[in-house]
Amino acid sequence: MLGRAIRAVLVSGIALLLLGGWLRFELQPPEFDVPERGAVLTHVTVVEPDRRRLDDQTIRIDGGRIVSIEPSKASEVGSGTGRYVLPGLVDMHVHHPPDTILGDVELFGMLFLAHGVTAVRDTGNFDGAVMESRRSIRRGEAVGPRTFACGPILDGAPPFWPGSRVVETPAEAQRVVRELARDGVDCIKVYERLTVEVLDAVRDAAGQADLPVVGHVPAGIGFREARLDDVQHLTGILEEGQTELTDARLRSVITASAVLDIAHTPTLVTWERTSKLSDYPRLRADPAARVLPRYFRDVLWHPQNDPRFRDRTAEDWAGLGEAPENARRVAGRLHEGGVQLLLGTDTMAPFLFPGSSLHEEMREFERIGLDPEEIWATATWRAGEALGEPDLGRIVSGAPADLLIFREDPTRDLGALETLEAVVADGRFYPVALLEEALARRRVHFEGALVDGLTMWAAGWVSPSGS
Ligand SMILES: [Zn+2]
């Protein structure tokens, strides 16, 4: 009797193991071979936006760096004749998806690169895996952009987002910031429920560790009092639903930003997309959303699953409808006033896509009055400066080898973004066609009945609106 029970347990144990192994195998996305570092680009036009332009150059890349830029010799075979080489784009506000066997971190990485985004700043990581995934990218074990990271979001109790680090006292703030600095973060992300005492302590500790403080101006703390280094989404200026933004108020924000050296990452594309969430079925049906597995659009991005949108009334949504235009007006005024704006998207927030949403943000910047060359400068070397990496975004010897090769010059017309042919990321050369082919294989994989069915079934357990 006992023997039979043991045998039954053993048999079912083995069956479960086999099933687990099979599922693991089936769920894993197709592999992608990351190219080795090193490349030579000949007879190209080097464009450093708003800085310089050099015709007929040869760029040598070794390891992850540009080693030389010099006039091409007539004898050199023209690998890049007629092509324009620009620095890679930087998205200053993204969130990484959970790092699971489904491989979404790498899928995001492929999409970033395929759109010329060679560096991102993760402004709040929910599962704590970003530090490890960026190491895999550097080692060439995964495809993806250079990643700067703030670590977890720091917030008061209870935190707005799950996965945030709760910080309730100044002493705790000091300890947490020192700990994050030791872990190697590049910035500190602060959120809406911090008290003024705690925010002050965060800023002091971050200052000692030479880390910029980026984030939301907490509710109830003045813009000037918060003194963040880089304000996200125009928080603290344009309150949601607020239609009256006086001129005096705007002028005071511009002055404070200039005097206290505060940059703004307005994420205009986020305002635009959020206002459209009122018509969720339409966003969900947009073919653009199919670059990611279905659980993003059907579950993760369903307004019912987002604490910001769950309990909205029709009136709330109507108020939000004006937000994109207000945000544009404010960002335009900040720019006119000489305040530093940066380009970020809030990718992984609803219906914001890795890479293509940064192109949309570039077009938003054009709408508010920047010319394409200025936008390129802002999205490349100015972002590098804001990240404390003055060589990032430059095309000079010794700079990180993050380069884009275009058929047409996109600093003349942003429409030429579509003529991207190849990307060099951390010294690795990726033809865009190769990335697109890998993305197409990924899509076949995640749209397959088994992966789609299993992930949607699992998502249904996690969230009530999963279908
Ligand atoms: Zn964000």
- In sequence order, what DSSP letters do the residues of 208-260 get, joined into one string? HTT--EEEPPPTTS-HHHH--SEEETTTTTS-TT-----HHHHHHHHHHHHHT
Distance 93 CA to ligand 1 centre (A): 6
Considering only 4-8, 105-109, 152-156, 322-326, which range has the smallest mean pLDDT?
A: 4-8
Distance 6 CA to ligand 1 centre (A): 52
Query: What pLDDT, on a 0 to 100 scale, did the predictor assign at position 466?
Result: 40
Distance 215 CA to ligand 1 centre (A): 8
Distance 130 CA to ligand 1 centre (A): 15
Distance 301 CA to ligand 1 centre (A): 14
Percent of the chain with pLDDT over 70: 97
Distance 123 CA to ligand 1 centre (A): 6
Asked if residue 385 is part of any domain, the answer here is: yes
Residue 467 has pLDDT above 50, yes or no: no
- pLDDT-derived band of residue 242, with 50, 70 and 90 as boundaries? low
Distance 270 CA to ligand 1 centre (A): 9
Distance 136 CA to ligand 1 centre (A): 23
Asked if residue 409 is part of any domain, the answer here is: no
Distance 21 CA to ligand 1 centre (A): 36
State residue 206 phi and psi, 5-degree precision: -65, -40
Asked if residue 318 is part of any domain, the answer here is: yes
Asked if residue 259 is part of any domain, the answer here is: yes
Distance 213 CA to ligand 1 centre (A): 14
Q: Which of the two residues, 248 and 156, has the higher pLDDT score? A: 156
Distance 124 CA to ligand 1 centre (A): 7
Four-residue CA torsion sign, 270, 275, 278, 279: negative
Distance 191 CA to ligand 1 centre (A): 10
Distance 95 CA to ligand 1 centre (A): 6
Asked if residue 55 is part of any domain, the answer here is: no
- Total domains in the chain come to 1
Distance 33 CA to ligand 1 centre (A): 31
Query: What pLDDT, on a 0 to 100 scale, did the predictor assign at position 463?
Result: 65
User: If you average pLDDT over residues 124-137, what whole number do you get?
Assistant: 94
CATH number of the CATH domain containing 296: 3.30.110.90
Distance 422 CA to ligand 1 centre (A): 29
Distance 379 CA to ligand 1 centre (A): 18
Asked if residue 175 is part of any domain, the answer here is: no
Query: By residue range, what is the domain housing residue 104?
Result: 88-150+229-393
Distance 153 CA to ligand 1 centre (A): 9
User: If you average pLDDT over residues 415-424, what whole number do you get?
Assistant: 98
The residue behind tokens 């310089």 is 52
Distance 94 CA to ligand 1 centre (A): 6
User: If you average pLDDT over residues 29-36, what whole number do you get?
Assistant: 94
User: If you average pLDDT over residues 1-20, what whole number do you get?
Assistant: 75
Q: What is the mean pLDDT of the chain?
A: 93
Distance 56 CA to ligand 1 centre (A): 41
Contacting residues for 229 by C-beta, under 8 A, at least 6 apart: 212, 213, 214, 261, 262, 263
Is 385:340 a contact under the CB 8 Å cutoff? Answer: no
Distance 105 CA to ligand 1 centre (A): 16
Asked if residue 342 is part of any domain, the answer here is: yes
Q: Which of 101, 88, 86 is nearest to 146 (CA)?
A: 88
Distance 467 CA to ligand 1 centre (A): 26
Distance 118 CA to ligand 1 centre (A): 19
Considering only 187-191, 250-254, 439-443, which range has the smallest mean pLDDT?
A: 250-254
User: If you average pLDDT over residues 262-280, what whole number do you get?
Assistant: 95
Asked if residue 249 is part of any domain, the answer here is: yes
- pLDDT-derived band of residue 164, with 50, 70 and 90 as boundaries? very high
Distance 190 CA to ligand 1 centre (A): 11
Residue 250 has pLDDT above 50, yes or no: yes
- Reading phi first (left if > 0) and then psi (alpha if -120 to 50, else beta), residue 463 is in beta
Is 303:465 a contact under the CB 8 Å cutoff? Answer: no
